[in-house]
Structure formats: C-alpha cells, structure tokens
C-alpha cells in the first residue's frame, strides 16, 4: 500500500508540475524541468521516490539531471536518498554528477564505513564515488575500517578497490593504524593483501 501510494504521489506531482506532460504539451514547449516553489522538479520527486518508470519517462524527454533545488539538492542526491541503484545509475548515464568536493565525498564514504553501511556505500559508488576517495585528512574508508577493527568492512573496501597503500596526512596506511591499535586480525588481512599485490606486480613486470 505504501509503495502504491508513493508511486501514485509521484505520478500526480509529475502531472501537476509539468502541466500534464503529453506529446502535445511537449511539442508546445512545456518545460520538462519546471520546478515548484522549492525549486524541486519532477525528476527530483521521481528520483527521491525511486520511481524508475517516471525517471525514465523524464530522462527520455530531456529533463535536466543536474538541476539544483532551493536546498542545493540535485536529482542524483535525491536518488541516493532513495537507495535505488538503478535510478542512480540511470541518472549518471545521462550526465548526472555529484556537486561535492573530493574531500566531502571522502568524508561521506568514511562516515558510512564507520557505521558499517555497505549498501549505502554501494549506492554512492554507483553515483561515481570511488572507494579510494579520501577526506580532508587523507583518510580513506579503508583507514576507517581498519581503525574500527571491522574485518568485514576491511574486506568489503578491498573488494571494491580501496588502496591498502594509501597514506593519510600523517603518512599512515590502514595497516599502520591496525598495528598501532593492536588489531592483529586487521593487520593480517591487510598484510596478506599487500603480499598478493606485490606478487601480481612482480608477475606483471616479469611478463
């Protein structure tokens, strides 16, 4: 019932904001990216509701994927909130991007890593954020996972491309944090990964 109501709300809002968008109204110049008094466009609403059908409809008709509302939010940011990777990917494929600095993205990913929120991290990855990204102190999600003594998160970050050799502003790698804090299990995981990487590089150079 809630999902049905949410989808119905999306369709209604799209109709209201786009003056009943139809082939005829579009041919007459209806603005597909018209915003309400908060600057929110139909694409903002559809993305937030995770309504792929409406998102696709709007994208096919040239909706502005990077339109910013009064709160500084874009449809991509709204899609991230909906936790719908398909919607996020669709927006990115049409040129949507996150209007955040690398350090801000790093802080976001580090925050998610500290809470063990793997699904959320995957959504941000779909939005174009690398697991190698660092916050303003140079710490990556892998640094945070190592410092939190979270082997599952360490493994998850490594699987998604985190750099075990990344150094923060104090020149510390994730394994250095693990050693300092006495997390032997984390140190073992990272050391094994480092050895595997060294073997791969050695094999590549010989080949």
Q: What CATH number corresponds to the domain at position 39? A: 1.25.40.20
Q: Which of 106, 101, 81 is nearest to 91 (CA)?
A: 81
Structure token pair of residue 190: 């990272």
Please indicate, yes or no, whether residues 114 and 202 belong to a single structural domain of this protein.
yes
pLDDT of residue 187: 97
Between CA 202 and CA 26 the distance in angstroms is 60
Q: Domain count of the chain?
A: 2
pLDDT of residue 15: 46
CB distance 58 to 32 below 8 Å: yes
The whole domain housing 49 covers 2-93
Listed residues 93, 115, 131: the one ending a domain: 93
Listed residues 93, 117, 132: the one ending a domain: 93
Please indicate, yes or no, whether residues 77 and 121 belong to a single structural domain of this protein.
no
Structure token pair of residue 206: 């010989």
Local confidence pLDDT in tens for the 207 residues of the chain:
455 445 445 444 554 444 345 555 555 555 677 777 888 898 999 999 999 998 999 999 899 999 999 999 999 999 999 999 999 999 999 999 999 999 999 999 999 999 999 999 999 999 999 999 999 999 999 999 999 999 999 999 999 999 999 999 999 999 999 999 999 999 999 998 766 665 555 555 656
Say what the pTM is: 0.82
Please indicate, yes or no, whether residues 149 and 68 belong to a single structural domain of this protein.
no
Please indicate, yes or no, whether residues 77 and 133 belong to a single structural domain of this protein.
no
pLDDT of residue 17: 47
Please indicate, yes or no, whether residues 110 and 169 belong to a single structural domain of this protein.
yes
């Amino acid at each position: 019932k809630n999902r049905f109501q949410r989808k119905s709300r999306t369709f209604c809002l799209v109709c209201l904001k786009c003056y009943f968008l139809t082939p005829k109204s579009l041919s007459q110049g209806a603005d597909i990216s018209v915003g309400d008094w908060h600057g929110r466009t139909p694409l903002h609403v559809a993305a937030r509701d995770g309504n792929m059908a409406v998102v696709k409809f709007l994208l096919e008709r040239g909706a502005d994927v990077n339109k910013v509302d009064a709160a500084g939010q874009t449809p991509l940011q709204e899609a991230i909130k909906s936790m719908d990777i398909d919607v996020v990917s669709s927006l990115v494929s049409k040129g949507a991007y996150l209007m955040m600095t690398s350090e801000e993205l790093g802080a976001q990913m580090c925050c998610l890593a500290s809470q063990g929120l793997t699904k959320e991290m995957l959504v941000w990855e779909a939005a174009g954020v690398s697991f190698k990204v660092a916050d303003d102190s140079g710490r990556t999600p892998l640094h945070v996972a190592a410092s939190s003594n979270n082997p599952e998160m360490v493994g998850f970050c490594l699987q998604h491309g985190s750099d075990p050799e990344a150094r923060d502003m104090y020149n510390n790698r994730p394994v250095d944090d693990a050693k300092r804090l006495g997390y032997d299990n984390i140190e073992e995981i990272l050391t094994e990964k480092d050895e595997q990487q060294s073997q791969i590089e050695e094999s590549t150079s010989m080949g």
